[in-house]
Chain A
Amino acid sequence: MASKVIHAIYNDDDILMNAVKAVRNEHYHIEEIYTPFPVHGLDKAMGLADTRIAITSFMYGLLGLAVSITMMNYIMITDWPQDIGGKPSFSYIENMPAFVPIMFEMTVFFAAHLMVITFYMRSKLWPFKKAENPDVRTTDDHFLMAIDPGQQDLERVSQFLSDTGAIEISLIDKDDDH
């Protein structure tokens, strides 16, 4: 049997923020919140773990740096050494200043692109993906909080939510599709 989920809709981000704090105080479980724009501080109020994307970005940057060094070493030193401006390419380290811009660019390139791709994969976003937002108004001017009522009394939870300023509360049978 499909589990139930309560959708509470708010029309103001300040009210939403206060509602999130109140809901968490009551130890109800917030499954997800859908907002039309990023709400500052919402992740902290929801108690979400910090993003680790900065760490991946750093590692991708190191990867890019390593790739650029290997690449330049092969192209400019090993494979086809040339004498450019009286600086023959016989040693990577001696010609290093000329390679620094490329090392920098590749570091940035790898960090930026791979970080974006990681973000998309982690958020399960890809082309032709069917939208997950349960109510189209969350792309316009409404905020939706999805709460898992668990074994709680639904009446009580609904009453509590409307006290926090929700303008609309509905009980939905959860699809197990996504």
Chain B
Amino acid sequence: MYTLPNKLKLFAIIFMVVGAIGMVSGFLTVPGTTAEVKEMLASHGDGHGDDHGEATHDEAKDSHGETKTAHEAGEEAHGSEEEHLEHVLHQMQNRPWSALYIAAFFFFMISLGALAFYAIQHASQAGWSPVLFRVMEGITAYLPVGSIIMLVLLLLSVFHINHIFHWMDPELVNPESEHYDKLIAGKSGWLNPTGFLIRAVIYLLGFNAYRYFSRKWTRLQDDATDTRWFKRNFKLSAGFLVFFIYIESMMSWDWIMSFDPHWFSTLFGWYVFASMFVSAITVIAMITIYLKSKGYLDFVNNSHIHDLAKFMFAFSIFWTYLWFSQFMLIWYANIPEEVTYFVTRIEDYKLPFFGMVAMNFIFPVLLLMNSDYKRMNWFVIMAGIVILAGHYIDVFNMVMPATVGSSWFIGLPELGSLFFFFGLFVWVVFTALTKAPLLASGSPFLKESKHFHY
């Protein structure tokens, strides 16, 4: 049995406290009026002034005006300074909420990806992985916590506590209103707050129900004399994967793609899935290496680490494939309603947008290509840190351009939220690891898994 070291507990608490301070100060420093915005822009001086210069701002507005807050939608004239300040004010007010949402979703998606990976191991009856089941189960323990946080955040958006989901504004679907948006109104059969919440509940219940039963049954299998629970788990996992691949796609439309309600991409679900999966496998590898370095998991050999690193390598390439497929088709066709998505990102988010391709593709490909490096723990950890940071920026790039536009920065609210959820994640996952033996001793493939040798 694993016992949670006090040092690690303290580490998690420190991250949560520091993160919470960052988050709260992020919310407190949000300007309330346009006058304050004016002051803030002026005090930032030349360096920052470039970002908010009239010229670049107007261009950005042209290209992605439709993705902005309610007050801006449909505005043709954008000359007046007051309107500009009003616009920046809304972006700044969205920023701490977006930062919170991104970090919450990022850690939620890691546990969900680990759950999908876990289900695949059961459904494929993989022989190499049963020694890692408890690590995966530990990571999925964050799922219920993450689900509740996500649901609360979505509820806050639906009840207009924040305005990060532009399409939730009822003005946009009201034909009488001057802000009436024909495209969003046309999508309101799917994109309406009631349906949005009902779907969110279905998604989350589905994920959590699978997690609950699958974990329970592997625990029962530990003490069983036959393979009854193993067989049941197999059937449940196969069924869950069918559910998951549809639901995950819809979840990405609802929770991420709808930030840009005019824009759509048919492979978006896959794209989010790739990000989720590679981050989850990276976390599985990192936690396994960490536990092994502390003297636990002596049944895990370096071939297991090698296989996880292969998955990290392969899914980094898979992510790039989808990222590029989405980008190239839109770039080539150059249809205005599609291309705005990338125009915004390339104009206002050049560094994170191209930086994440380097972090998520070039870096892991070069680092993890060599077979021997995949067996060196510190190498896998270093590559893993870059991959995780890269995928955080990936989610950042999916959300921020639609909610805060050019007023972005990775500062106190972003890092605060990231730290807070990181601390919470570490706390929940490592506490869950103490609740069960670290070896799923009932798996019929246990012997094969222990002897797994590449």
Contact = CB atoms under 8 A, between A and B. Distances in A.
Contacts of A101: 328
Contact of B371 (A54, A87, A97): A54
Nearest to A86: B334
Q: Which 5 A-B pairs have the closest CB atoms?
A: A97-B328, A97-B331, A85-B332, A98-B332, A86-B334
B316 to A, nearest CB: 15
A54 B369 CA distance: 10
Interface string A82-99: 000111000000000110
A58 B369 contact: yes
A105 to B, nearest CB: 13
A154 interface: no
A71 interface: no
Contacts of B453: 41
Nearest to A98: B332
Contacts of B333: 85
15 contacts: A41-B453, A54-B370, A54-B371, A58-B369, A85-B333, A85-B334, A86-B334, A87-B332, A97-B327, A97-B328, A97-B331, A98-B328, A100-B324, A100-B328, A101-B328
A97 B369 contact: no
Nearest to B333: A85
Interface string B305-336: 00000000000000000001001100111100
Contacts of B327: 97
Contacts of B334: 85-87
Contacts of B332: 85, 87, 97-98
Interface of B: 324, 327-328, 331-334, 369-371, 453
Nearest to A61: B369
- Pick from B331, B333, B369 the residue with the most CB of A within 10 Å: B331
Given A97-B327, A97-B328, 5 more contacts: A54-B371, A58-B369, A85-B333, A85-B334, A98-B332
Interface string A44-65: 0000000000100010000000
B318 to A, nearest CB: 14
B357 to A, nearest CB: 12
B246 to A, nearest CB: 29
A100 B327 CA distance: 12
B301 to A, nearest CB: 14
A70 B418 CA distance: 44
Interface in A100-137: 100-101
B320 to A, nearest CB: 10
A153 B190 CA distance: 86
Contacts of B371: 54
Contacts of A86: 334
A87 to B, nearest CB: 8
Nearest to B372: A50
Nearest to A54: B371
Nearest to B329: A97
A54 B372 CA distance: 12
Nearest to B321: A104
B194 to A, nearest CB: 40
A100 B453 CA distance: 37
B421 to A, nearest CB: 34
Interface string A67-87: 000000000000000000111
Contacts of A100: 324, 328
Nearest to B371: A54
A62 B324 CA distance: 20
Contacts of A58: 369
B255 to A, nearest CB: 28
A124 to B, nearest CB: 25
Nearest to B327: A97
A44 to B, nearest CB: 10
A41 B332 CA distance: 49
A97 B327 CA distance: 9
Contacts of A97: 324, 327-328, 331-332
A36 B331 CA distance: 53
A79 B146 CA distance: 57
A58 B327 CA distance: 27
A3 B371 CA distance: 40
A58 B370 CA distance: 10
B369 to A, nearest CB: 7
A172 to B, nearest CB: 35
Nearest to A101: B328
Contacts of B370: 54
A58 B328 CA distance: 26
A85 B334 CA distance: 9
